[in-house]
Amino acid sequence: MTEIILHEPLDMHLHLRDGAMLRIVAPLSAHSFSGALIMPNLVPPVTDAESMRAYRKRILAAIGDETFEPYMTLFFKPEYDLDFLAPMAEELTAVKLYPAGITTNSEGGVSGFDIEELRPALGALSELGIPLCIHGETGGFVMDREKEFVPIYEALADAFPDLTIIMEHITTAESVAALDRHPNLYATITLHHLLITLDDVAGGMLQPHLFCKPIAKRPEDREALLQAALDAHPKVMFGSDSAPHPQHAKECPGCAAGVFTAPIALPALAELFARHGKLENLQHFVSSNAQRIYGLNPPKKKVRLTDTPMRVPEKYGEVVPMFAGEEIGWSIDAVSVK
């Protein structure tokens, strides 16, 4: 039997939703992860200290006795300034910027990227040491949206050299290459983008539970992501972008974007890294890099995984996970709090 013990695993891009959905999915992440960066694109979005604190309380209530730190974010608004952000800086792990209308619940996002218009808000984040996370896509042709956004990432990195900028859920070789050109650019990579290409989504019968934004790309893009993750690139970290939707919202016209991976993320990653002979680098990808980049001190937790197969449930509540009903080669053997 092969095993690995992960210390303080972190998910640096997680959707927990709210209400009944929150109560279904939050305990699944809280069981095996030490903490997660919580996305703010609720309806209405999390845009101030009051809504951020209230959402954190709802998350803690949903996870019960699990040891888990929800790292909170705000939905970016250009009008944010130093006076607004400073009083909540100790409670705020990052601010998330969405281009308007580019993904789920992002209608109130940024509709232009004029650096001078964004300077007051981004300057405040830089001064306070609060990272900026960006869903980096333009409104262009769907396969080119992220590639077209890379120059915007680079312009922002040059204009705000002291601002930590996280390129969220990168999917292209161009984004991987940009990491090495700018010292203040970092990235999260999802499980599903390490495993699938567009062919898996739409190459045969359409697979709605693999449809996500950014959409999965080409084999050469997947290979670039995989190489960065497996080699423990110091500027990349795991962010699941686990995005639950009810089954009826996925298996329908107008299919909602999002892949639900939270319950199976660590076993699937262990299987992937073991298959490539890189299991020793998994700790960096799922924890150490994030702790260093964000300056985190997460709650102590050990997760023991073994190469014992597990059968993925067909559903968790109303939500169909990735690999539903299939067997994956690794499973969680034990979780302990130090």
User: DSSP H helical segments within 164-264, as ranges?
Assistant: 173-179, 191-195, 198-202, 219-230, 247-250
Do 261 and 331 touch, CB atoms closer than 8 A?
no
What's the pLDDT score for residue 105? 81
Of 182, 190, 249, 254, nearest to 222 by C-alpha is 190
What's the pLDDT score for residue 113? 84
**What's the pLDDT tens digit per position in 246-285?**
999 999 999 999 999 999 999 999 999 999 999 999 999 9
All structural domains of the chain: 3-336 (3.20.20.140)
CB burial readout 170-184, b (16+ within 10 A) else e: bbbbbbbebbeebeb
The residues facing 70 across adjacent strands are 36
**Assigned token pair, 155:** 């312009």
What's the pLDDT score for residue 313? 98
Do 286 and 9 touch, CB atoms closer than 8 A?
yes
What's the pLDDT score for residue 69? 98
The answer, yes or no, to whether residue 338 has pLDDT greater than 80, is: no
What's the pLDDT score for residue 104? 81
List residues with catalytic annotation.
241
What's the pLDDT score for residue 1? 92
The answer, yes or no, to whether residue 188 has pLDDT greater than 80, is: yes
Mean pLDDT of 40-67: 97
User: Which pLDDT band holds residue 100 (cuts at 50, 70, 90)?
Assistant: confident
What is the pTM assigned to this prediction? 0.97
What's the pLDDT score for residue 107? 80
**What's the pLDDT tens digit per position in 103-132?**
888 788 888 888 999 999 999 999 999 999
Do 246 and 318 touch, CB atoms closer than 8 A?
yes
User: What is the C-alpha to C-alpha distance for residues 301 and 196, in angstroms, rounded to an integer?
Assistant: 30
User: What is the C-alpha to C-alpha distance for residues 331 and 328, in angstroms, rounded to an integer?
Assistant: 8
Q: What percent of the chain has pLDDT over 70?
A: 100
Q: What is the average pLDDT value for the chain, to the nearest integer?
A: 97
**What's the pLDDT tens digit per position in 243-253?**
999 999 999 99
What's the pLDDT score for residue 106? 79
User: What is the C-alpha to C-alpha distance for residues 42 and 75, in angstroms, rounded to an integer?
Assistant: 9
Amino acid, res. 93: T
What's the pLDDT score for residue 51? 98
What's the pLDDT score for residue 294? 98
User: Which pLDDT band holds residue 204 (cuts at 50, 70, 90)?
Assistant: very high
Amino acid, res. 177: A
What's the pLDDT score for residue 211? 97
**What's the pLDDT tens digit per position in 57-93?**
999 999 999 999 999 999 999 999 999 999 999 999 9
β-strands 302-306, 3-7 pairing: antiparallel
